Structure 1
Amino acid sequence: MSGNRGVIYQGPGEVEVTDIAYPEFELKDGPGVNPANVGRKVPHGAIVKVVATNICGSDQHMVRGRTTAPAGLVLGHEITGEVVEAGPGVEFVKEGDLVSVPFNISCGRCRNCKARRTEICLNVNPDRPGSAYGYVDMGGWVGGQAQYVLVPYADWNLLVFPDRARAMDKIMDLTMLSDIFPTGYHGCVSAGVGVGSTVYIAGAGPVGLAAAASAQLLGAAVVIVGDLNAERLAQARGFGCETIDISQGNPAELIEQLLGTPAVDCAVDAVGFEAHGTGSDAGREAPASVLNTAMDVTRAGGAIGIPGLYVTGDPGAVDDAAKEGSLSIRFGLGWAKSHAFYTGQCPVMKYHRELMMAILYEKVHIADAVNAVAIPLEDAARGYQEFDRGAAKKYVLDPNGYLGTG
């Protein structure tokens, strides 16, 4: 048995890299583990040696203290790795396989999984449909910002890369398959992005940039990215997007200056519940702002994809309603314009194989789009701090030296 180290949430604003238990084929008790999952046997699982694991904005929400995550939680749901041991119930995945791990944990057996709705699997989280590694209220599956992690239902969950050498050559792109690339793509697909579309992407963080690259991949004519962060907006312009600084006025008016009309065909919310206002309100948190803006700028009959995270418990929210996930959205406006809204986690397995092929055959350069930067696992606290300050980077942790950072 090997040792193991992982990134631990210690409390608001604090993470620490420390020794953690090496994975076993059984779910143990610990911070955030649902009592009904304690002792759950995982003969269908695989132990994965982590090649790359990324810091996500969803992790940052927890680290800021904006969720009910307990101290001691092992973080990390964006995982790429090498299988080092397969459980006795695993038939097809084998030791040595280089794999992408979808952030959604799913069983492959339930009604929702069979309908390709792996983001709301019914069997992996006793609290509610859907689960993820290292995340609050998701059943307690240990996170993957670590040297080793257990992946349940390995034959079902793992995407095996077809050629190891070719995959390692593209590993900084392929590590985005576990979450942000499919998530951004899902936001665009659910919003109806297609050839010739005009698209507004709210947010120039990694998910927003991934959504912008996805919109281009899907054939959009114009992709407009809105944010407050000048460095992140410059990153979006670097691969052909138009941008608006939402502190400079009403987004519809800024869009009109670009398109000659204040409306786009579709919009993607890549911000979520920690949104800020626009124009003179840009310095203040306004959790419904992005949703209301999306309804304002999307044409009648258009659609809005909402992969940005919204929660049912936010202890740091600006008002009591928002602390329970109740937001003052202009639903009447959306109804009047016959908008379609698509919310929730991305079902990663619906898209990841096709996006893998797009990466391997040079149809997209997602690591460049999100400005992926590899750092050692031991520098995780620095990565979280810089990301929280608005760095225009996607931090990729290198727990075992595969990426050459150590």
Structure 2
Amino acid sequence: MSGNRAVAYLKPGTVEVRTIDFPTLELQDGPGVARDNVGRKCRHGVILKVLASNICGSDQHMVRGRTTAPEGLVLGHEITGEVVERGPDVETIEVGDIVSVPFNIACGRCRNCKERKTGICLNVNPARPGAAYGYVDMGGWVGGQAEFAMIPYADFNLLKFPDRDQARAKLLDLTMLSDIFPTGFHGVVSSGAGVGSTVYVAGAGPVGLAAAASAHLLGAAVVIVGDLNAERLAQARSFGCETVDVSQGDVGEQIAQILGEPEVDAAVDAVGFEARGHGRNAEEAPATVLNSLMSITRAGGALGIPGLYVTDDPGGIDEDAKSGTLKVRLGLGWAKSHRFTTGQCPVMQYHRGLMMAILHERVHIAKAVNATVIGIEDAPRGYAEFDQGVSRKYVLNPHGVLDGLQPV
């Protein structure tokens, strides 16, 4: 095989579906590939036929021009696929297996991997701890918004679904295991939420909705989702969340109308560095969500922060923001003894348990995030509509296996 249709970033606001090389078990030079990773042999890897690959808000940050992503970078870190080739050192994964791919690339050998901190593996990215597929400064591993993709360290990284037919039937839910479902779940777990908790989730995009569904799964008494997008707030209400429209005034006052008090037990930032200020016609203010969450989280509570923050933002509102330096009210968090958890979600801590919850009908994550299937050729439209704020989680369908599947 020679051709491989894939979605590539061209310039701010523009992606293109183009033909790239069929993957091999060796990392080739290309846009964004770390120099020291070129030629890296992956006898421990597999080639996947990509059955589903999702458009993520993190991809959208790059497409908006808010990172240093190079032209031609193949996008996509949310990958579910079928193994069509395996390297000679792969032992437990077989050709024909249907698998979920954690967006974190992890070697399974380093200190951090052995401590289950797979989001900051020390061996897969020469530039810094942690790597991902199709993402700027994350090692240059080719993205999975494509027909085929190479996955290294397959025995360690891949989550094999126990039954092929069941996996295909539930693929629209299972594809969320690669990133947004574990990421939202991690945000809620790290916020300390549990049975009987009151939880506030800032942001009703796909990760925020996944966090809200996760809070329900963990037994929260009340889940409140805040956003300024009416369509996304309606989607949150569709599965039992309370909502706050942050364009309509003080968040604490609106929470008090729901709970009888202006604070919650646990809070999740599912917005990240492109946050806007609260109130009508508010401009971008990247520390707004973090400061708001400290205000509305009870003393002794915690903030889970799965929302993305970056070290380089060419479109930042000022010189501080361009380097990821934000005006955070740390004194307020200190005074209230808040705990903060940041960074990439270590997907492998959660994905098997969440798979079981999906397979046994304990959660319907595709319905919660309004999963919407489109063809790979429609990816540019999907990116444009997602950027305009539609309340959909776009799932690319490179080989047609998702035809006819709907969220249930």
TM range (shorter): over 0.9
Corresponding residue number in structure 1 for 2:289? 290
| C-alpha distance after superposition, 1:281-339 (max 9, x if no partner) | x5310000000001000000000000000000000010000000000010000000000
Alpha carbons 2:2, 2:21 under 8 Å: kept: no
1:162 aligns with 2:162: yes
Alpha carbons 1:104, 1:119 under 8 Å: kept: yes
Alpha carbons 2:263, 2:297 under 8 Å: kept: yes
Q: TM-score, normalised by structure 2?
A: 0.98
Corresponding residue number in structure 2 for 1:265? 265
Corresponding residue number in structure 1 for 2:372? 373
CA shift, 1:133, in A, is 0.1
CA shift, 1:405, in A, is 7.2
Corresponding residue number in structure 2 for 1:252? 252
Corresponding residue number in structure 2 for 1:358? 357
Alpha carbons 1:32, 1:137 under 8 Å: kept: yes
Distance 1:167 1:28 in 2: 31
Distance 1:286 1:255 in 2: 21
Alignment map for 1:6-405 (pairs within 5 Å): 6-280=6-280, 282-404=281-403
Structure 1 counterpart SS, 2:21: coil
Alpha carbons 2:182, 2:351 under 8 Å: kept: yes
Distance 1:386 1:200 in 2: 26
| C-alpha distance after superposition, 1:212-232 (max 9, x if no partner) | 000000000000000000000
Structure 1 counterpart SS, 2:166: helix
Distance 1:78 1:275 in 2: 23
Structure 2 counterpart SS, 1:199: strand
Distance 2:403 2:394 in 1: 14
Structure 1 counterpart SS, 2:395: strand
Structure 1 counterpart SS, 2:403: coil
Moved over 4 A (4+): none
Task: Structure 2 unaligned segments of length 5 or more: list them.
Answer: none
Distance 2:18 2:72 in 1: 11
Structure 2 counterpart SS, 1:144: coil
Q: What amino acid is aligned across from residue 308 of structure 1 in structure 2? A: G
Q: What amino acid is aligned across from residue 355 of structure 1 in structure 2? A: L
Structure 1 counterpart SS, 2:165: helix
Of all paired residues, the percent bearing the same amino acid is 73
Q: What amino acid is aligned across from residue 309 of structure 2 in structure 1? A: Y
Structure 2 counterpart SS, 1:358: helix
Structure 2 counterpart SS, 1:192: coil
Alpha carbons 1:375, 1:405 under 8 Å: kept: no
Distance 2:111 2:200 in 1: 34
| C-alpha distance after superposition, 1:45-77 (max 9, x if no partner) | 000000000000000000000000001000000
| C-alpha distance after superposition, 1:226-253 (max 9, x if no partner) | 0000000000000000000000001111
CA shift in 2, pair 1:405/1:136, >3 Å: farther
Alpha carbons 2:76, 2:145 under 8 Å: kept: yes
CA shift, 1:404, in A, is 1.7
Structure 2 counterpart SS, 1:59: helix
Q: What amino acid is aligned across from residue 175 of structure 1 in structure 2? A: T
How many corresponding residue pairs?
Answer: 405
Alpha carbons 1:316, 1:323 under 8 Å: kept: yes
Note the aligned Cα RMSD (angstroms): 0.9
Structure 1 counterpart SS, 2:284: coil
Q: TM-score, normalised by structure 1?
A: 0.99
Structure 2 counterpart SS, 1:279: coil
Q: What amino acid is aligned across from residue 313 of structure 1 in structure 2? A: D
Alpha carbons 1:398, 1:405 under 8 Å: kept: no
